[in-house]
Amino acid sequence: MSEWIYVALFIVVGLVIPIGAIAAGFIFGPKKPNPVKESTYECGIEPVGPAWIQFKAQYYIFALVFLVFDVEAVFLFPWAVKLGHLGLYAVIEGIIFVTILVVGLVYTWRKGMLEWA
């Protein structure tokens, strides 16, 4: 566990340095806000409506497929580490495992879900 203390220290110092830099900017920079300056940029005209709108995310299906493969990586990393000891049997197991998931990708592809619509 002691190794993770170093990670914690890296996180702490990694947070302190940018906070310090931004604080320096906050201290030394001028602060004269006005409504025009605070409005968001929209090519020089006044912003039309809020930006937090509902937006069609065409890659929603991509995100679902991504989740499947991302979880799969959790299973494959231990497999990769011990592959040298386990030999051909584990390789075939791995091929079967990946093939099942790739069938899912092929199905999505065949269904036309990997097209930009």
Partner 1 sequence: MSFWNDPLKVAADWLEGVFTGWGMNADAAHVLVAFLGVFLLIAILMVIDIFLVWVERKVVARFQDRLGPNRVGPFGLIQPFADIIKLIIKEDTTPGNADKVVYNLAPILSMMSVLILWAVVPLAPVMLGTDLNVGALFLIAAGAIGTLSIIMAGWASNNKFALIGGFRQVAVMVSFEIPMLTVLMIPVIFAESMNMNAIIAAQSTWYFLISPLGALIFLVAAIAELGRAPFDLAEGESELVSGFNIEYSGMKFGMFYAGELLHAFTFGGFWAILFFGGYRFLGLEQVSPFLAILILIIKAMLGYWVIMWVKYTMMRIRIDQMLAFNWKFLTPLAFALLLVTALMNALLASAPAWLYTLGMILANIVTGWIAIEIARSATRSEREHIEGGKKPAEAHH
Measuring CA to CA, which residue among 108, 111, 112, 83 is closest to residue 97?
83
Asked if 44 is part of the footprint of partner 1 (rule: CB under 8 A), the reply reads no
CA distance 80 to 42: 49
- In whole angstroms, the minimum distance from the beta carbon of 111 to partner 1 comes to 13
Asked if 46 is part of the footprint of partner 1 (rule: CB under 8 A), the reply reads no
The secondary structure of 2-18 as a DSSP string is: HHHHHHHHHHHHHHHHH
- In whole angstroms, the minimum distance from the beta carbon of 67 to partner 1 comes to 8
Q: Write down the number of H helices and E strands in the chain.
A: 4, 0
Q: Using CB under 8 A, pick the residue from 25, 45, 54, 110 that binds partner 1.
A: 25
Amino acid at 33: P
CA distance 23 to 54: 34
Where does this chain bind partner 1 (CB under 8 A)? 3-7, 9-15, 17-19, 21-22, 24-26, 28-33, 35, 37-43, 47, 50-52, 55, 57-59, 62-63, 65-66, 69-70, 73, 76-77, 80-85, 87-88, 90-91, 94-95, 98, 102, 105, 109, 114, 116
